[in-house]
A and B are shown apart, each in its own frame.
Chain A
């Protein structure tokens, strides 16, 4: 218990001290996770909405598969991305293994199914509400997708935030494909793993508290944007 309090003090010190190394790690974490969340949303939102409104053979199986992918083991994603991006792998010539780009690829693969599965549910509910109206207007199912996504944008923001949280909290896959290189691919989670390895548990926990604070701040920011735009564009 004493250790946890010590870490809390250390965390405040770390935030207050604005250590440039830590700041670099925090900024990189946020940056990569946001890019992955946006990329994952760009794939997942339309995909989820298409599955929600579409009627095609195998739809039910696809939904089950998508829901199962919510539990996609990240270490497997990391390993697959590693093997793809490795010089000996099919995409090796890109030379992006152990760069931030590799991290974003792995995070995006983790985020996209989460966004798709949750967006599918949200879009399906919206579709139920508007199906009659839209079909009476002669809007095709495909054309209804952007309308539904736009209409449900505020609920979908939460979905994208869940994706961001998933990306920001990932450690295994990020360690494998990023390599935890000091100053290049070291992010919050891998820094925490490293300090744990060094046996500096108070510092590791303090970094963890900083990460939680960062995720909290991003969510608070998103909430504020949502409130603001709901008031102005509602």
Chain B
């Protein structure tokens, strides 16, 4: 076999073509990183997946010229993102954790924005007989029947609420949890997918449940209990902690969501003619 080896010619057409392609791709990737003013909002999967942000953010951008980039996580993670200084604004739903966040000096001030409610979803046949208006009675029935229940177990706002309800119902999960209690350690959507596949009960926020498609045999079995109230709050990450926080643009976002314009944008968001979030910012706060 005759082998012909050529030294590399960097001016060869192939090499030049490859270099040009690489350079133009690098350039093309850049503009996305260098646009006008934007803020990073760490929020929860419920606000993102319900489609609320897609509905209200264009109005915010129109009013202020600021782009809001939302990273959707569980409330615990979203607050941690603020603690690390990776967000300018935190928009979540766990009052206890939010107040701690502000008390620790990571957030400037907490403003209440809106609420919706939690629901317990479960199999239509309701084998545990959990159906009703009383969340604690519902959970007791599920635990007593050892009916499969799927928990977020991800330190999210919904998970924190679930743990509070179990405690209030007098059920000590550390002692009582068995194979019937499944911890997914994941977001609301994946948890609902699991519950749907297992035909199990789960606590969900209504905002994620309403547009959720893969319901299988699940439906709402407990709703309407006052204790299922789910308050959302918004906070600017403290610029005194993280100097790079875009405090003016971030503050504009906070001001806007609690302003009449922001509040009516939230109220106007509906799926299947159902309002998902109810604005309740205190006027003049």
User: Which A residues fall within an 8 A CB radius of B?
Assistant: 28, 31-32, 34-35, 38, 86-88, 92-93, 95-101, 104, 129-130, 133-134, 146-147, 149-151, 153, 179-182, 184, 194, 196-201, 229, 233
> Among the listed stretches B27-35, B139-147, B168-176, B247-255, which one makes contact with chain A, having 4 or more residues with CB under 8 Å of it?
B27-35
| Complex: A151 Cα to B8 Cα, angstroms | 8
Shortest beta-carbon distance from B57 to chain A in Å: 8
Tell me if B3 and A99 are in contact (CB < 8 A): no
Question: Would you mind naming 18 contact pairs between A and B with Cβ atoms under 8 Å apart?
Answer: A31-B28, A31-B29, A32-B29, A35-B25, A35-B26, A87-B242, A88-B83, A88-B84, A92-B85, A101-B33, A134-B5, A147-B7, A151-B5, A194-B189, A197-B193, A198-B213, A199-B196, A201-B214
User: Which B residues fall within an 8 A CB radius of A?
Assistant: 3, 5-8, 12-14, 21-22, 25-26, 28-29, 32-33, 40, 45, 49, 53-54, 69-72, 83-86, 187-190, 192-193, 196, 211-215, 242, 244
Shortest beta-carbon distance from A96 to chain B in Å: 7
Shortest beta-carbon distance from A102 to chain B in Å: 9
Assuming the contacts A92-B85, A129-B3, A130-B3, asked whether A198 and B29 have C-beta atoms less than 8 A apart, the reply is no
B34 (CB) vs chain A CBs: closest residue: A99
Tell me if B212 and A199 are in contact (CB < 8 A): yes
B42 (CB) vs chain A CBs: closest residue: A179
Tell me if B70 and A181 are in contact (CB < 8 A): yes
| Complex: A150 Cα to B215 Cα, angstroms | 55
Assuming the contacts A98-B40, A100-B29, A201-B214, asked whether A87 and B14 have C-beta atoms less than 8 A apart, the reply is no
- B5 surroundings in chain A (CB, below 8 A): 130, 133-134, 147, 151
Tell me if A31 and B25 are in contact (CB < 8 A): yes
- B25 surroundings in chain A (CB, below 8 A): 31, 34-35, 38
| Complex: A147 Cα to B45 Cα, angstroms | 52
- A32 surroundings in chain B (CB, below 8 A): 29
Assuming the contacts A104-B29, A146-B8, asked whether A182 and B214 have C-beta atoms less than 8 A apart, the reply is no
Tell me if A180 and B29 are in contact (CB < 8 A): no
- A182 surroundings in chain B (CB, below 8 A): 53-54, 69-70
